Structure 1
Amino acid sequence: MRTALDFSPLYRSTVGFDRLFDLFDQTARLEQAPGWPPYNVEKVGGDQYHITMAVAGFSPDEIEITQKESVLLVAGNKHPEQENGQFLHRGIATRAFKQSFSLAAYVKVREAKLENGLLTIDLVREVPEEMKPRRIEIAAGSGPKTIAHDEAA
């Protein structure tokens, strides 16, 4: 079991990193609690990611996916079922869940699909053209200055 880290010495010598330290604290607290439903987070390309959640027994209308700024929230609520018999064993979980993911800047959901009990959420990081690194060329003398986008970055 991990112990909480004390970031207070870093607050004295850094500016603007409060959100990063809060994320570390939040992650440490979440790792102590068991997560349900189980999920995978996979990087499939330079700027593409997949989140796969095992949500057997849930239908698409019982799952809600919401992105607000840099937080992705996945929540599931089962509709009440009419029980026609008495269960001797109930191993398929039908409890409600909420799972949140902190997203980096410019990451957004491209697609979500539910197939064979697995919810797959495709994410992509799309940096706006004006935020991409660009190379500034320096003109000699009084010639015009040109700005070219650096495609390698």
Structure 2
Amino acid sequence: MIRLTMLTAMLILCSTARAAATTQAAILTAVQSSGSISKTLTLDFIELYRDSPTDIARAIRARRVVSQQEFWLKAPGGLMTFNTNPQLRKLKTTPRTTYELQCLNTQQSIRPLRVSEATFFRAWQGSTTCWPLEVANRMVVELTVEGAAIVKITQVYLP
């Protein structure tokens, strides 16, 4: 009887457990409305490395560069991206999804600013709400994903 109760408890815990949130860099290439409560985003996942000890070490382990000096030579702006897999993926937003654009703050530095869904997608279409895009309808973003849903999407500052 105890085994049955333990097994039942484990099944209940496993079925209600949520997947850990993961972060993924991507290029947002298309947006499709999925009714009034969500949007389906078409994304091209990329590798993103910033000028930080952790990311430079990741770039070295991935054999993108051989040293910190090479990283700085290849990425003088402090940001390096690679797109080795052209497969596009589709993920959905939810009513809980939060959106951030890179904007100048009062100290004249670029920082993420939480914005509405409408403002975020107007920026993706080319509106210069905050930091302008080089090409409309192509925005480099970082996604926080739980399961198959996007819980946060942040524009990446491209120097």
TM-score (norm 1): 0.22
Identify the structure with the greater helix proportion: 2
> Higher relative contact order by CA 8 Å / sep ≥ 6: 1 or 2?
2
After TM superposition, the score normalised by the length of structure 2 is: 0.21
Task: Pick the structure with greater CA Rg.
Answer: 1
Question: Greater share of strand residues, 1 or 2?
Answer: 2
